[in-house]
Structure 1
Amino acid sequence: MFLSSGLESLGQLLVAILMFVVVVALCYFTTHFIAGYQKKRLSVGNFAVVDTMKIANNKFLAIVKAGKDNYYLIGVGKDEITFIDKLDKDDISFKSDSGSGIPGKNPDFDRFKQMFMKYAGRGKDKTDD
C-alpha cells in the first residue's frame, strides 16, 4: 500500500547523504571562521603566546612575548598564573616551519598527506626515484 519503490528509496538515501555532507561542510567552515577570528583577535596588541607545553592536567608552561623583545616563562594552572623567569631572545629556539596563519596550510598535515599518498600508491616520494 504505502511502500515506496526501490528508486524512491534510493532517492531518499541520496538526499539524506547530501544533507549530511552539507551539514558537515557547514560545521567545518564555521569552525575555521571562528578559529581565524579568534586568532586575529588574540594576536592584536602587545602580547603573544610564543609556545606552550602541557605538563599535567590543567597545567602547562607558556612562553609569552610582551612588547618588542621581552619574553617570559610562566606557569598556568586552573586557577593561577605564576611568573617563573624572564628569558632572553637568544635562549629561545623558534620553529622555522610553524604555521603561517593561512588556514589549510598546516605543515604537519602536508607531511602526513605526503606519507599517505606514498603508501596509498597514488604518489611517489622524491627519494623513491
Structure 2
Amino acid sequence: MTAVLALSDRGINSFAQFATVIIIFIFVLGLAYLTTRFIAKYEKNQIVNKNIEIIETFRLSTNKFIAIVRVGEKYLALAIGKDTVTMLTELNADDLNLVSSDQVPTETFQEILNKAKNLIHKK
C-alpha cells in the first residue's frame, strides 16, 4: 500500500513540476510580447517627423551598399562599407523617382506564403 502511495505522490509531484514550468513559460512569453510592443511603440515615436530618412539602398556585395538618404531637404548618395561611410554626391530631388509609401504595392503574408507554396510544388 505504501508503494502505491509513493508512486501516487511521485506522479503528483511530477505533474506539479510540469504545471509550474508551463506557467513560468507562459509568463515569460507574455513578458516578451509586452516588451516587444513597448519597444515598437517607442521606436515608432522616434521615427515620426525626423529629418533623416533612408530613401533607397542597393547592395553591391555582401557588406557594401549604396544608399540614397534624405537629410533635411537634401538628398545624398552614400557608399557604405564594413567600416566606412563615404558621401558620393548630393542629388537633386528632381532627378530622383520618389515613390510615396501609399503607391508601393504591399503583399499580405498570405499572398507571399501562397507564392512560396506554388514555387515548392513546381519543383
Q: TM-score range by the shorter chain?
A: 0.5 to 0.7
Q: Which runs of 4+ in 1 moved over 6 A?
A: none
Q: TM-score, normalised by structure 2?
A: 0.58
- What secondary structure, in the 3-state scheme, does the structure 2 residue paired with 1:48 have? strand
Q: Rate the CA distance shift 1:58–1:49 in 2: closer, same or farther, 3 A.
A: same
Pairing of 1:59-70 with structure 2 (within 5 A) = 59-68=64-73, 70=74
Structure-2 residue corresponding to 1:96:
102
Where does structure 1 lack aligned partners over 5 or more consecutive residues?
A: 99-106, 118-129
Choose from 29, 34, 40 the match for 2:39: 34
In the alignment, the residues of structure 1 paired with residue 71 and residue 112 of structure 2 have an alpha-carbon distance, to the nearest angstrom, of: 38
Pairing of 1:11-90 with structure 2 (within 5 A) = 11-41=16-46, 45-68=50-73, 70-90=74-94
Residue 29 of structure 2 aligns with an amino acid whose one-letter code is V
- What secondary structure, in the 3-state scheme, does the structure 2 residue paired with 1:4 have? helix
In the alignment, the residues of structure 2 paired with residue 53 and residue 34 of structure 1 have an alpha-carbon distance, to the nearest angstrom, of: 28
- What secondary structure, in the 3-state scheme, does the structure 2 residue paired with 1:27 have? helix
Aligned-residue CA RMSD (Å): 3.3
Q: Rate the CA distance shift 1:4–1:21 in 2: closer, same or farther, 3 A.
A: same
Structure-2 residue corresponding to 1:104:
none
Computing the radius of gyration from Cα coordinates, the structure with the larger value is 2
In the alignment, the residues of structure 1 paired with residue 80 and residue 28 of structure 2 have an alpha-carbon distance, to the nearest angstrom, of: 37
In the alignment, the residues of structure 2 paired with residue 18 and residue 114 of structure 1 have an alpha-carbon distance, to the nearest angstrom, of: 36
Q: Rate the CA distance shift 1:82–1:17 in 2: closer, same or farther, 3 A.
A: same
